[in-house]
Amino acid sequence: MITFNNESDKSNGSKNADSTSEQSVPPGPDSLEASSVAPNERKTLRDQLKAHAVKRQRDFSAQVREHESFNRLSKEELAFFQSLRDKERRQEDELNGFLEKKAHEFDKRRKSLRQKTHIRVEKKPRKLKLSKRSAK
């Protein structure tokens, strides 16, 4: 049996301690926040800052996990959004094809009507020239 000479050996715990000495409790989730200070005593500034930093880190980690789980989509959801995107592309391609076809038909009809009616279409409007007359 091992005997402790001072209090520091008891608090540190020894590997050679037998079952009759105090067993150390494994650290729990709140063990970092709870310091060695008794509950009715005030924590030191260092302990308060450490507890606050640990709490903020835990909160941040929880937010990161939540954000990542929100951003991750299942295979079914990915397939659904991919099919929506493909459907929109097909509709847009169909509309563009329809517009090109109608524009081509319009140009053909316009050309044939011009040939039938023999309307002269001026590409550039005529500019009127002002002549300078000398006043006599």
Mark whether 111 and 91 lie in a shared domain. Answer: yes
Domain membership flag for residue 10? no
Structural domain including 104 reads: 82-119
Tell me the CB-side half-sphere exposure of residue 53, using CA atoms within 13 A.
6
Helix (H, G, I), strand (E, B) or coil at 32: coil
CA–CA gap between residue 11 and residue 25 (Å, rounded): 12
Domain membership flag for residue 57? yes
What per-residue confidence (pLDDT) applies to 50? Answer: 96
Alpha helices in the chain (DSSP H): 7-12, 45-71, 75-117
Average of per-residue pLDDT across 61-89: 88
CA–CA gap between residue 37 and residue 47 (Å, rounded): 9
What per-residue confidence (pLDDT) applies to 53? Answer: 97
What per-residue confidence (pLDDT) applies to 3? Answer: 55
What per-residue confidence (pLDDT) applies to 19? Answer: 47
Domain membership flag for residue 127? no
Residue 14 has pLDDT above 70, yes or no: no
Mark whether 63 and 91 lie in a shared domain. Answer: no
Domain membership flag for residue 87? yes
Domain membership flag for residue 6? no
Count how many domains the chain has: 2
What per-residue confidence (pLDDT) applies to 136? Answer: 54
Residue 131 has pLDDT above 90, yes or no: no
Domain membership flag for residue 91? yes
Domain membership flag for residue 113? yes
Q: pLDDT digits over 26-54, tens only?
A: 555 555 545 555 667 888 999 999 999 99
Q: pLDDT digits over 85-126, tens only?
A: 999 999 999 999 999 999 999 999 999 888 887 656 566 666
Domain membership flag for residue 112? yes
What per-residue confidence (pLDDT) applies to 116? Answer: 84
CA–CA gap between residue 10 and residue 16 (Å, rounded): 12
Backbone angles phi, psi at 117, to 5 degrees: -95, -5
Average of per-residue pLDDT across 67-92: 88
